[in-house]
Structures are given as C-alpha cells and as structure tokens.
Chains A and B, each alone.
Chain A
C-alpha cells in the first residue's frame, strides 16, 4: 500500500494539527542544541550588559542610573520574552542554532505562555546548576524543561539541517556514475536513499561506504565497490 510513512517510531517527531485540518510535523530539539543556543544567548546578554554599562558610564551625568537599572531589569527577565513574541519565537542564540519556540499545538507562542516559560527559567536553573532543567528535558516527551511544561511550548528545529542531494552529488568527492539500469524503488527505499545523501557530509567516506554497501549489493552487484557514489547518483536522479 502506498503512502507516506514517517519515521515516527524511531525519531522524536511530533505531529501537529492546523485549523485547516491537515497535520505537519515538528522535530523537537534536544539538550545539546538547546544548550548551545542558551550559551549563545547568555553571551549576547553579557555583551549587552557591558554595552549598556559603558554607555551609561559615559552619559550618566545627563540621564541618571535609573534608566540603566530599568534596562538591566528588562534585559534580565524579558530578553527572551521580547524576542519570542516579536521575532517569531526566535532569540538570537536560537536563530543561530536553527531553533524556534512554538506552542505544543503548533501555533505561535502566546504572550502569557512566553512569560511563564521565561520566569520559570529561574526554577530550571536552581542554584545555577540547571540540573532541574536537564532532568526535565531528559524525562519529558518533546525535550521540555519545566518552563516548557508549564507554558505548553516546544523548542523545535526550524528546518532540516541536512544538505540537499544535489549539493552532495556535486561536492561529495565521490565520482559521478551514470545510472543506465532503471531501478524500481519503493517509497521507503527512495526515502532511505535521500536520507543517506542528506547525512553523507556527516558520515565521512568510509562509514558511508560501509552503510551503502549491503543495500547496493542487492540493487546492482556490479556497483558494489562504488556503493556510496552509486547511491548519491541514484539520489540525484530520484530527486529529479
């Protein structure tokens, strides 16, 4: 039976329904990516603090320290909230790492939820160790920390980070092979080949060959030695 089969059983993929009556998939982001985004955001916040402090040191005769204190307060508690609400759910750190904040039903994050999520950052970071946040992310479905659970939000990947098969075919360093024989591939096989070329840049030639070989041996025995190149050329053809 033909049909789109997702990798729901292996990957952590969440399906969300839209009001239009269709569903699309989001991929929640795990600990390491979120940690990177968080560290980036922390660095940016630190830089902003410095800039503000310097600015006010230069001009404080005219302006007064109360604006600086106000700015520090907003920077401390509302940095993430403002970006989440006015920048499509993306703080600068998340933008760099390709993440965004969504509410669990796929709709954009609401102001109240954003507030709760960021206020509870203090709970997740209890004693600055972030153990509670890490525990929560590890245990919950969808990699949520306590703030996400309370606010009903998810941190998801904005787009697949993998390269396109055409790019891989040009830049992989594998020889381009002419595919003469027409292979009839099932949908799952097509998906597998495309995923392989997506991941090729991360695999390295040896590992790619190791993965490709059993599959190619079944498809076309003559190409066993150039398994990875064969699959990439095939993928280029499949993608059209």
Chain B
C-alpha cells in the first residue's frame, strides 16, 4: 500500500484519536476508543514493516503509548477491595511469612527486655543511653505529681495529637521500611534504636516508680504501634535481603517480586499506625477512667490483634 493512500485513509481516525486523548472526553468515545486503538496498533505495524516516513512512525508510536495508558490505566478503587485487603490479604501475608516476622519480633522485644532489665539493675546506665534532657522530659511526662500530667506535650487538644502521631509515627515506619533496601542496615538500625529506647524508658520508669501513669498509657496503642513498626522493619529487611542475595534470578527481578509480595505488609502497617494514632490521641490519655479500665482495654486490644492475625481469612471465601 502506498504511503499517501494509507495516510489518506487513516488520517481522520488518527486525528480523532489524538483529539480524544487530549480532550479527555473518553466517556463520550467509550465504545469507539478500544476499536480505534486496536486499529492504531495495526497501523503502527504497517508503517514499521513498510518503512514509511519516520516522522509518521514517531507520531503513531506516541499515540499508541498514550492510548495504551488511557485504555489500561483505569484504577479500581472500591470498598470491596479494601475489605478484601483487611480481612484476607493482610493477615494471610503475615501468616505466610510468620517465621521472618517472628524473628523480627524476637529481635525487637529481646533487645527492649534486655535494656529494661539493664536499666532496672543499673539505674545510672540510662544516662549513657538517652540524653539527659530527654530523660527529664520523659520524667515530667509520667510523674504523677507533675502539673502537666494530663497534657503530655505542649499541644493541648486530642485531635492535634492525632495529627502529630500520624505525621510522626507513620513517617518513622516508612523510613524503617525504606532503609531496609540498603543491605537491611537502615531497618535494623531503626528497629534497634526503637527497641533500646523503649526498653530503657520502661526500665527507668520502673526505677522511678511511675508505673501507674506509664503502663496504662502505653498499653492501649502499643499493640498496634509496636507490631506495625516491627512489620515495617521486617518488610525492609525482606527487600534488602532479596537485593543482596537474589539467588539464581536477576537482582532486579528478585527485588521486584519481593516488593510485590510485601506491598500488603506496608499498607497494613500504615493502617495499623493510623489506628494506633487514634487510640493514643483519643483514648490513652484519659486518666479519669482509671487504671483498671485502661489496662483491661489495652490487654483486650492485644488479644484481639493476635486473634485477628491468627484467624482472619483462614476460610476460603466462597463467591
């Protein structure tokens, strides 16, 4: 087919295609667009095989690229997908990788317990771990006699704390995750830092006798928050491991595969931290409810979380 004849025949379709891409009136063209796209791909084939004008090939190439994006780029956000994620994907992924996750948890809690015991036995060691200024801030936070006992930080309202916790904690989790691809070092460092900090503070609080303010405060959100941080660290470690020890496949393939598998983990982490922020901001500082109520609710949340991870999504969903 001669080039001029070909262009004459097809020009109108191409111009219309290009116009519909730019004006984004896809809804109006919904039935015509896929057919036009298929014809366009055949046109590209013809121009390439017949070695027509390179400028024409370039134009068709660009139209195919853009058309491909529009046709296959429709995202499918629905409540159903979200519920599927929460009930099925996330717990199943956690269970599938339980060995690694358990190892990360042992690492974290082992470190924090060690440092908690260390600080309770050797009270002065806390000053070598955490800066004195920060220790004084913590003491002020949990000292029952402190005048600012009900408002742990300068910001006063609960909603503001909610925003702060989201900004702070989820950023920490994301960084813990991202650091993992660097041979796992970033994740390990951040996990270790958090574990040491938590353990030392717990030990110091026990030394000072502030247990009645500290433990009821943290018990509520600790289940979600600690588990989420550990999960994000684990996800980062997975990435780093697949990058440096890819086995017998290409490095990029190994990382790509692992990344696909752990996307549910990191999304779940963000959700858990959202819940933890809500609990921490709106519930944990309600001292007026008394310690027993807060402790029992906190322990209840721990139990619920463990049951959720163990049991949710075990039965195959029958459509």
B residues sitting closer than 8 Å to A (CB atoms) are 3-4, 37-38, 41-42, 44-45, 47-51, 53-55, 57-58, 61-62, 64-66, 68-70, 72-73, 75, 155, 157, 159-164, 166-167, 170-171, 174-175, 177-182, 186, 239, 251-252, 255-256, 258-260, 263, 266-267
Known A22-B45, A116-B266; further 8 A-B contacts with Cβ < 8 A: A2-B50, A2-B51, A4-B57, A18-B68, A65-B163, A165-B55, A190-B54, A239-B53
Total residue contacts A-B, CB cutoff 8 A? 154
- Determine if A149 and B53 form an interchain contact, defined as CB atoms under 8 angstroms apart: no
List the 10 closest A-B pairs by CB distance, nearest first. A66-B163, A69-B163, A108-B73, A122-B178, A112-B263, A4-B48, A66-B159, A150-B259, A187-B51, A123-B178
The reply to whether the CB of A111 lies closer than 8 angstroms to some CB of chain B is yes
State how many angstroms separate the Cβ of A106 from the closest Cβ of chain B.
Answer: 6
Alpha-carbon separation in the docked complex, A73 to B186 (Å):
21
Contact residue among A24, A69, A132 (Cβ-Cβ distance under 8 Å from B164): A69
In the complex, which range does the number of interface residues on chain A fall in? 35 or more
Helix, strand, loop or mixed for chain B's interface? helix
Residue A79 CB within 8 A of the other chain: no
Q: How far is the CB of A239 from chain B (nearest CB, A)?
A: 6
Known contacts A126-B182, A160-B58; decide if A22 and B42 are in contact (CB<8 Å).
yes
Which of A149, A164, A191 has a CB less than 8 Å from the CB of B256? A149
Contacts of A199 in B (CB 8 A): none
* A interface residue numbers (CB < 8 A to B): 2-4, 18-22, 24-26, 64-70, 72-73, 76-77, 85, 88-89, 100, 102, 106-108, 111-113, 115-116, 119-123, 126, 132, 140, 144, 146, 149-152, 158-160, 164-165, 187, 190-191, 194-195, 238-240
A13-B166 Cα distance, complex, nearest whole Å: 42
Indicate if the CB atoms of A122 and B163 lie closer than 8 Å: no
User: Is B177 a contact of A119 with CB atoms below 8 Å?
Assistant: yes
Q: Are A108 and B72 in contact (CB under 8 A)?
A: yes
* Beta-carbon contact of A146 and B163 below 8 Å: no
A64 to B73 CA separation, bound complex (whole angstroms): 37
Tell me if B263 and A115 are in contact (CB < 8 A).
yes
Least CB distance, B194 to chain A, in whole angstroms = 16
B167 and A72 form a contact (CB under 8 A): yes
Contact assessment for A149 and B163 in the assembled complex, using a CB-CB cutoff below 8 Å: no
A22 to nearest B CB, angstroms?
A: 4
